[in-house]
A and B are shown apart, each in its own frame.
Chain A
Amino acid sequence: MAGQVDALFWFMFSVSALICLGVFGAMLVFVVRYQRRPGNEVAQRLGPTTRLELSWTLIPLGLALVPFVWGAKLYLDMARPPDDALEIYIVAKQWMWKAQHPEGQSEIDELHIPVGRPVKLTMISQDVIHSFYVPEFRIKADLLPDRYTTTWFEATRPGEYHLFCAEYCGTGHSRMTGRVIALGPAEYAAWLQGGPTLSPADQGRRLFQQLGCAACHETGLAPNLQGLFGQPVTLTTGQTVTADETYIRESILDPGAKIVAGYQPIMPSFAGRVNDEQLLQLIAYIKSIGPQPGGQPSGGPPPPGPALTPLPTPAATGGQAP
């Protein structure tokens, strides 16, 4: 991706340089040549200008479409992470970065990634707006406090790269920096070994039990979460929303906001009881029991709790959790 962005950049640079050369060269020549002096006391009368005007209106207009289409295509690619991307969660706060790997490692102000594999970041801020910027990969994305944003990249060479916060976030803004460390596959595997602990999805499952979510969500009082993630959900208002990260987060923190059709608003708010990292773990768990590319729900961990009885789910894929 970085190479493609550079290609567009140098294309635009070349065209711009040509335009500059043309305009500046013409200005210079005219200024030298048409000095006011004896023999050139007055300017030549202007002829009709319309044809020239139209040409330098329409030609730039056509020319402008090239970088637009090119830039838009790359932007769309940036907005759509590949399906096989490694998903890492990022939580930012004044003034540090925290990364959580699917295998369980978490790190601060550093991000270890494997070379040659797309990495998708799902990110949120705990306070003000930050922006995740790695110049080497030509990517930048703001982290918002109220919903998840994503970006993705693929490192091609092992090495250490700058990580900057690019959106001004207060006193320590310029110190909110870090390193992205791209490792070869073997080194990355070795690095993963160094870390302990449960994957976010496992931690999420544990939280799910600890917080008592299962008491309703696995008994029919509240929508079943199996196979839910990424599916459309019909609300009491008749609207349909997609059960994505932001919706799940909202449902945990503000359960009354969007209630699934067919259920009562009985769920208490968990705002203040779970922090952003735990939210991400819960989401990772719900994701892990979501629809799998292969077809059947649930890939990694086994379905928690007792065997599931058929539930009065309003939508075919199950409802969401108020």
Chain B
Amino acid sequence: MSATTLPAPASYATVSYGLRSWLLTTDHKRIAILYMISITVLFVIGGLAATLMRVELLTPGGRLMDDATYNKLFSVHGIIMVFFFLIPSIPTVLGNFLVPLMIGARDLAFPRLNLASWYIFMLGAAFMLWAIFTGGIDTGWTFYTPFSTSSSTTKVVPALLGIFISGFSSILTGLNFIVTIHRMRAPGLTWFRLPLFLWSLYATSVILVLATPVLGMTLVLVALERVLHVGIFDPALGGDPLLFQHMFWFYSHPAVYVMILPGMGVTSELIAAFTHRQVFGYRFVALASVAIAVLGFLVWGHHMFVAGMSVHAALIFSILSYLVAIPSAIKVFNWTASLHRGAISLDTPLLYALGFVGLFTIGGLTGLFLAALAIDVHVTDTYFVIAHFHYIMVGGMVMAYLGGLHYWWPKITGRLYPEIWGKLAALTVFLGFNLTFFPQYIMGYLGMPRRYHVYPAEFQVFHVLSTAGASILAVGYLLPLVYFLLSLWHGQQATANPWGATGLEWQTSSPPPPHNFVDKPVVTSEPYNYPTREPAHG
């Protein structure tokens, strides 16, 4: 029986009321909402830091603030955005909400652990905010030794502790997803019937579980070194600062894939839903996620080509870096091919998905420049790198996150957002983003180093363009915040499946009941089984 014809069961959101019922919930959907609120607040803090930096960079002379303040701002921006927004964003919000729904389960495998993950995350964030608001931190998000251990006089240890703690949240979330996807799938839901979003989340989880511990221990050693004045990475005491960089990037490079893989998964879902067909080369796209997760671990050394690493290691890491580009390229080509002879509805989520593909393509291709050793020597640690990873993380991940939020908003809240405003915001974000970051490619190639508070006047024109773009981008981000909130009261009621999409999550009511499905779902068909027509000829 369809959920819409039964007397509607109480939704997860209205089954009980009160703060207590939310803070002690083990319902994956409510935990997803908790995460959504938390990371939105953190995103705003990180965004404010970026805004101040962009305003300061309007002029080359550094008139608005002193050097130390600027350094703290970019550190806060980096740390908050990477560890407290990008890494948790899609997995903890959309992943938490959708994994059990998409596989037809009643909850994640470990519901209480899931809630614990959120509390751990909040504890980590609290430490981080404490560090920020009681003196700040000026090491950048990379914490390079020996600067972080013996030179910086800011609140490094609380910040390290914050990241260390939130790391456990990542590990436990990853663990929960892996076990859930392995063991809780509905009857008939074989691996190659899984939505592509779940393939990408699975790959993400593997990275989270296996890479995060390495960062955790590294940060512990840095904190120990700072507190006890002993040398593990400090060359003055026989340590090797490059060893820190190896350990740091062993986590932090795969962490880039933690940020982009879920975005790829969302994009695959959106493209399937709005071209009304299966994604071209489903198996290749699915396995490419796994390939990225594995190959992504083999390339961390490309962050260290000028750091004094051995030439031999540089050559190895360079060629491996090209390998990891291949599965990403496969995905881009498959998404494009999926549009061919589809039945395309150009709704807001698809706009974001197309934006994702375009910006990710540019970000990915410029990543190849950075893998080419001689070019990397010139452009590493310049704005070229800044532009590159913002194309991946902001152009890629944030676009996908917004696209996913629009697509599943009716499922999450039971309300529709205003489509016109959605399209307008998507275009604003796209334009603002490109205006912000494309000039940074140019000035990077011209030699503008990153993390510079004062800079030679010849780069000013690019900085002004960039700041102008950032203002547009800010508007683009504020718009959805406003109309999403308004839609909670004024939005039109959503049906169970407003997009006419496949996938188990659309088979239950919007918003879903506490245990997701009234009837236990059984899967009997291939994924994205939209009706199709035969090729015109042949």
Q: Are B344 and A31 in contact (CB under 8 A)?
A: yes
- Is A268 part of the contact surface with B, judged by Cβ < 8 Å? no
Q: Are B281 and A135 in contact (CB under 8 A)?
A: no
Chain B positions within 8 Å of A78 at CB level: 374, 377
Q: Given A23-B332, A30-B339, is A168 in contact with B280 using a C-beta cutoff of 8 Å?
A: no
Chain B positions within 8 Å of A254 at CB level: 238
Q: Are B378 and A140 in contact (CB under 8 A)?
A: yes
Q: Are A71 and B373 in contact (CB under 8 A)?
A: yes
Cβ contact of A43, chosen from B151, B358, B530, cutoff 8 A: B530
- Is B67 part of the contact surface with A, judged by Cβ < 8 Å? yes
Bound CA–CA A57/B330 (angstroms) = 6
Chain B positions within 8 Å of A165 at CB level: 449
Q: Are B241 and A31 in contact (CB under 8 A)?
A: no
Q: Are A135 and B311 in contact (CB under 8 A)?
A: no
A32-70 interface mask toward B, CB cutoff 8 Å, 1 = contact, 0 = none? Answer: 001110001111111101001100110011001101101
Q: Are B375 and A9 in contact (CB under 8 A)?
A: yes
Bound CA–CA A172/B366 (angstroms) = 30
Distance (whole angstroms) from the CB of A39 to the closest CB of chain B? 10
Cβ contact of A35, chosen from B325, B334, B346, cutoff 8 A: B346
Chain A positions within 8 Å of B308 at CB level: 141-142, 144, 147, 149
Chain A positions within 8 Å of B377 at CB level: 5, 75, 78, 138-141
Cβ contact of A9, chosen from B344, B369, B452, cutoff 8 A: B369
Cβ contact of A145, chosen from B62, B241, B344, cutoff 8 A: B241
- Is A173 part of the contact surface with B, judged by Cβ < 8 Å? yes
Q: Are A53 and B330 in contact (CB under 8 A)?
A: yes
Bound CA–CA A76/B311 (angstroms) = 8
- Is B14 part of the contact surface with A, judged by Cβ < 8 Å? no
Bound CA–CA A229/B147 (angstroms) = 32
- Is B189 part of the contact surface with A, judged by Cβ < 8 Å? no
- Is A107 part of the contact surface with B, judged by Cβ < 8 Å? no
Q: Are B375 and A12 in contact (CB under 8 A)?
A: yes
Cβ contact of B341, chosen from A43, A56, A71, A75, cutoff 8 A: A43
Q: Given A19-B365, A36-B344, A49-B281, is A44 in contact with B381 using a C-beta cutoff of 8 Å?
A: no
The number of A-B residue pairs with CB atoms under 8 Å apart is 274
Q: Are B532 and A42 in contact (CB under 8 A)?
A: yes
Identify which of residues 301-338 in chain B touch chain A, using a CB-to-CB cut-off of 8 Å.
305-308, 311, 314-315, 318-319, 322-323, 325-326, 329-330, 332-334, 336-337
Q: Are B381 and A68 in contact (CB under 8 A)?
A: no
Distance (whole angstroms) from the CB of A198 to the closest CB of chain B? 29
How many chain A residues sit at the interface, stated as a range, is 35 or more
- Is A190 part of the contact surface with B, judged by Cβ < 8 Å? no
Bound CA–CA A135/B377 (angstroms) = 10
Chain A residue nearest to B284 in the complex (CB): A53
- Is A129 part of the contact surface with B, judged by Cβ < 8 Å? yes
Q: Given A128-B147, A140-B381, A142-B308, is A49 in contact with B67 using a C-beta cutoff of 8 Å?
A: no
Q: Given A79-B311, A139-B377, is A43 in contact with B342 using a C-beta cutoff of 8 Å?
A: yes
Q: Are A127 and B67 in contact (CB under 8 A)?
A: no
Cβ contact of A34, chosen from B67, B340, B372, cutoff 8 A: B340
Chain B positions within 8 Å of A145 at CB level: 146, 235-236, 241
B429-457 interface mask toward A, CB cutoff 8 Å, 1 = contact, 0 = none? Answer: 00000000000000001110111111110
Chain B positions within 8 Å of A71 at CB level: 318, 371-376
- Is B172 part of the contact surface with A, judged by Cβ < 8 Å? no
Cβ contact of B374, chosen from A5, A44, A169, cutoff 8 A: A5
- Is A230 part of the contact surface with B, judged by Cβ < 8 Å? no
Cβ contact of A173, chosen from B340, B451, B530, cutoff 8 A: B451
Which stretch from B270-278, B397-405, B409-417, B481-489 is at the chain A interface? B270-278
Q: Given A34-B342, A135-B446, A170-B152, is A129 in contact with B144 using a C-beta cutoff of 8 Å?
A: yes
Q: Are A12 and B369 in contact (CB under 8 A)?
A: yes
Identify which of residues 62-113 in chain B touch chain A, using a CB-to-CB cut-off of 8 Å.
62, 67-68, 70-71
Chain A positions within 8 Å of B530 at CB level: 42-43
Bound CA–CA A12/B366 (angstroms) = 9
Distance (whole angstroms) from the CB of B529 to the closest CB of chain A? 11
Q: Given A36-B345, A43-B342, A57-B330, is A94 in contact with B151 using a C-beta cutoff of 8 Å?
A: yes
Q: Are A23 and B343 in contact (CB under 8 A)?
A: no
Q: Given A9-B445, A45-B532, A79-B311, is A65 in contact with B322 using a C-beta cutoff of 8 Å?
A: yes
Chain B positions within 8 Å of A168 at CB level: 71, 139-140, 142, 144, 147, 450-451
Q: Are A31 and B354 in contact (CB under 8 A)?
A: yes
Distance (whole angstroms) from the CB of A205 to the closest CB of chain B? 28
- Is A4 part of the contact surface with B, judged by Cβ < 8 Å? yes
- Is A108 part of the contact surface with B, judged by Cβ < 8 Å? no
- Is A20 part of the contact surface with B, judged by Cβ < 8 Å? yes
- Is A221 part of the contact surface with B, judged by Cβ < 8 Å? no
Q: Given A75-B314, A149-B308, is A60 in contact with B138 using a C-beta cutoff of 8 Å?
A: no
Q: Are A64 and B322 in contact (CB under 8 A)?
A: yes
Cβ contact of B452, chosen from A26, A30, A131, A173, cutoff 8 A: A173
Chain B residue nearest to A94 in the complex (CB): B151
Distance (whole angstroms) from the CB of A97 to the closest CB of chain B? 14
Q: Are B453 and A43 in contact (CB under 8 A)?
A: no
- Is B387 part of the contact surface with A, judged by Cβ < 8 Å? no
Chain B residue nearest to A165 in the complex (CB): B449
Bound CA–CA A168/B336 (angstroms) = 40
Bound CA–CA A147/B240 (angstroms) = 10
Distance (whole angstroms) from the CB of B449 to the closest CB of chain A? 5
- Is A27 part of the contact surface with B, judged by Cβ < 8 Å? yes
Q: Are B240 and A40 in contact (CB under 8 A)?
A: no
Bound CA–CA A72/B322 (angstroms) = 12
Cβ contact of A146, chosen from B62, B241, B276, B341, cutoff 8 A: B241
- Is B247 part of the contact surface with A, judged by Cβ < 8 Å? no
Chain A positions within 8 Å of B340 at CB level: 26, 30, 34
Chain B positions within 8 Å of A237 at CB level: none
- Is A162 part of the contact surface with B, judged by Cβ < 8 Å? yes
Distance (whole angstroms) from the CB of B95 to the closest CB of chain A? 27
Q: Are B326 and A60 in contact (CB under 8 A)?
A: yes
- Is B472 part of the contact surface with A, judged by Cβ < 8 Å? no
Bound CA–CA A136/B446 (angstroms) = 8
- Is B519 part of the contact surface with A, judged by Cβ < 8 Å? no
- Additional A-B contacts beyond A43-B342, A171-B68 (18; CB < 8 A): A12-B369, A40-B343, A43-B341, A43-B343, A49-B281, A64-B323, A67-B368, A71-B318, A74-B374, A129-B307, A140-B381, A147-B235, A162-B456, A166-B306, A166-B450, A171-B71, A173-B67, A254-B238
Return 15 A-B CB contacts under 8 Å, by A number.
Answer: A20-B365, A42-B343, A53-B334, A56-B329, A56-B333, A61-B322, A73-B374, A79-B311, A135-B382, A146-B241, A164-B452, A166-B382, A169-B151, A173-B453, A175-B454
Interface of A toward B, CB cutoff 8 Å = 4-5, 8-9, 12, 16, 19-20, 23-24, 26-27, 30-31, 34-36, 40-47, 49, 52-53, 56-57, 60-61, 64-65, 67-68, 70-76, 78-79, 94, 127-129, 131, 133, 135-136, 138-142, 144-147, 149, 162, 164-175, 254
Q: Which 5 pairs between the two chains have the least Cβ-Cβ distance?
A: A135-B447, A146-B235, A71-B372, A74-B374, A75-B373
